[in-house]
Chains A and B, each alone.
Chain A
Amino acid sequence: MTRYVLRRLLAMPLLLLGVATLAFLLGNLVKGDPLSSILNERQMNNPALVEAAKAKWGLDEPIPERYLTYIGNLLQGDLGVSFRTKRPVMRDLMERLPATLELVVSAMLVGCLFGVALGVVAAHWRNGPADHGARLFALIGSSLPVFWSGLIALFVFSVELSWLPGPGRIDASLPPPQSITGFYTIDSLITGDWPALRSALLHLLMPSVILGWTVLGVISRMVRANMLDVLQQDYITTARAKGAAVLRVLLRHALRNALVPTITIIGFAFAYLITGAVLTETVFSWPGIGSYAVAAARALDHPAIIGVTILGAVAFLLANLAADIAYVFANPRISLT
């Protein structure tokens, strides 16, 4: 397995170079004036200012030359400076990635734990009230648009009931915890900043449940279908005949095999949410990668667009790799070569 993992890791730079090249070309060939986030609208007809801005940001060079410069910098880990935020893209991404990961990991925990549990319950009591209830719950989660369910949840739990705080990662009156990992929950725990930890956990709760609910639907349906398939197998009948407890049969014998295809879905969902949780991030004013990507695209912020694309590609590659490795643990009969 080690050789397999190494081989996959070694192939990543080449794949990323291809992704970066494609993103660079697409970004530079689409219609639009990237100066729109550099120079104000009223000055766009001022030739002196336009020339100065183009020269400063390297937009006066031919595209091939810009490409070579970009790739040269990329090989040194420099993703350039964002036209919009005027800060290094790497710094922007590294600040936002923990925010997104904190949200996505907690959402995936919600989605996976409840999704698997609901899937098992639904399969065990197939066509019973528990099955129907679980399927309905999952269906609602998959069907409700996040921008709606998020706003409603904010209205109910934050405005009306005052149980949970409003949008953001932490209460604005509190200074964010000293940055160590960028994860507010972990950083506040490490530094013993309990008010920040409480605020961060409270702020995390609603968006992760809302986002997790959307994932939950897919996972529970997948688990249910696979469980139903597995529960028909002879070895399950054998296990039952040998007097194994129902819970043991379900969790140790059936679920373990039913999980293999689900892991693929979980891997994809995780990678997708790294850049795709934009609606949740917008509704909850969560400063993550998704909202950064949308803002970059709207402003034609080339360095940021390419940076996010590369990050998204890395997330997919790593998530796929992690899913492949997880197969082995879920089912020891699978080997990676």
Chain B
Amino acid sequence: MSKESSRQSIVGGALSAVALVGLSVTLLASPNAVQADNDTIVIARDTDFNSLDPNQAWCDSCQIYLTAAYEQLVRVGDDNKTIVPRLAKEWSVSDDGLTYRFVLDERATFSDGTPVEAKDIAFSLMRQKNLKGSPSFFMEGIDSIATPDAGTVDITLSAPDPEFLGKVSAPYAAILNADLLAQHGGVAGEDASTKDTAEAWLQDNSAGSGAYVLESYRPDDELRLVANENYWRDRPQASTIVIREADDAVTQIQMLQSGSADIAMQVDPDTATTVNAEGVVTELVPSANFIYVALSPGAKGMEVPLSPALREAIGHAIDYDGVLEFTLGGAADKMASPIPNGFPGTEGLPMPEQDIEKAKAILKQEGLEDGFSMVAAYPEFNVYGVDLTTMMQKVQQDLAKVGIDLKLEPVTFPVWRERVGGDHIPMTAVFFAPDYYGSGQYTGYFGMAPGITWYNRAGGDEVEGLQNARMVELLDQVRTANADEAVDLYHQMGLEMIKDRVIIPLINPKLVLAYRDGIKGVRYAICCNLPVEELSKE
């Protein structure tokens, strides 16, 4: 290279560098250059989307999406209890409790402008039932659906179900545009589980009548919703809702403080106390979520079988108030039974208390005054701000006081699933969030009666005396009970579940709502965690 060309290269390089620096300075000049648009609301969340197909999805984040882009026949109202109209403007139940008639609101339209008709309801609910996806069980009780005219739907059940309205209010009972879905492989018939191919399309498109439509979805990055141009109710105030992935509470709070997000959804009470930035609001609200430990008398390889007496001793040994303090600094409530506080039948149920002496007395009576060992395997989750390992360490300490040596085994969720359904696990811990307002979802999941999930996980028919005959009777009675009778029956079922002590609820966490000042409409809703259509920005 000659000196001249070398000089030219140097000059050229220098000019390029100056140009690059100039461009960078121009682009990056203003500090905190990025500010959100006035009508875009950004939600920071550790998302758990497992599908955007309403009939396959099952997760907390899914509930937010499914109530933003879709609507159901009815919904849970602002009081988190009352069922209110949505696509159906009115409904009635036949005297035998088997047939529900829904009259559709004639104004309702899908996002493509076509009217919501009875055929769409029939298609959606039958697809939910026949797809054999996670939320299919909600519609298992449907025998047939008739559509006398475009605005009327008659749903006939195979047996009375006092919580059917609650089930059709759940986000998963979303009503889809039948014609549109059929064009993309949607099938609602009995062969839906093998013939339907619409899930792939629904991962990129929505087909509902909700306030928003799906603009884009990039797993582990963001889900972007834009206002539905054809929305038949009052249009939402925010033109765009972005659910942005943020894996942990600290990141979420930092996004909130820096203005990168408007709402943070999974901030634990401890982290919330560190927020001292101006313009950020945090409030604690009660929730219907809870975390529980479960005992399995049928677990293989147990040193000592978990008889009712031993389960009672374990129940007495736990320091319930201490668990709340240890995990969430007290920002939580105790629960009497595996039905959340405030749900039908829970009023007056006795709250658990620690009683070490009673626990020791029972163990002595059982010939186990020297204690025994047992394994506690649980998924290594951090849920509702509670690290399950921290919680189980507290339980371990409590049980040690009565001589029970608890060996903790945190495992991944797939491993936990295999173990809890296989040889069962002597003690485990997991959580539950409601899908609608109603106690049947709990009694039908936790009750010690044949066919119920936790009865099977606890050992089922292989464990003598595990079946609770009174529970079986009550579950049968509640099917034909009216609302008032049901409250009393659920109360009795709550007492039975306390007595069984297979499920021991530990924490009913309060949720932290953290958002920037000026964001309106942030509230916890049983239906969907956060009803985004109510959000607005000042």
Contacts and interface: CB of A to CB of B under 8 A. Distances in A.
B254 interface: yes
What DSSP secondary structure best describes chain B's contact surface? mixed
A198 B34 CA distance: 9
Interface residues of A, number: 65
Nearest to B199: A86
A32 B36 contact: no
B255 interface: yes
Interface in A195-236: 197-199, 201-202
A87 interface: yes
Contact of B221 (A40, A162, A169, A199): A169
B224 interface: yes
Interface residues of B, number: 66
A46 B255 CA distance: 41
B396 interface: no
Nearest to B27: A198
Contact of A85 (B219, B245, B453): B219
A188 to B, nearest CB: 10
A167 interface: yes
B246 interface: yes
Contacts of B390: none
Interface stretch (A104-112, A118-126, A291-299, A319-327): A291-299
B134 A40 contact: yes
Contact of A33 (B24, B40, B58, B418): B418
Contacts of A52: 132, 193
A95 B203 CA distance: 15
Contacts of B59: 40
B88 interface: no
A53 B244 contact: no
A168 B132 contact: no
B199 A41 contact: no
Interface string B215-247: 110111110100000000000000010101111
Contacts of B135: 40
A172 B200 contact: no
A223 to B, nearest CB: 22
B33 interface: yes
A282 interface: yes
Nearest to A291: B220
B412 interface: yes
10 smallest beta-carbon distances between A and B, as pairs: A166-B260, A32-B414, A52-B132, A287-B221, A40-B58, A162-B32, A173-B36, A40-B134, A300-B414, A171-B34
Interface of B: 24, 27-28, 31-37, 40, 42, 50-51, 53, 56, 58-59, 132-137, 193-194, 199-200, 203, 215-216, 218-222, 224, 240, 242, 244-248, 250-251, 254-255, 257-261, 277, 412-415, 417-418, 421, 430, 445, 453, 456-457
Interface of A: 31-46, 48-49, 52-53, 55-56, 84-87, 92, 95-96, 151, 154-155, 158-159, 161-169, 171-176, 194, 197-199, 201-202, 282-283, 285, 287, 291-292, 295, 298-300
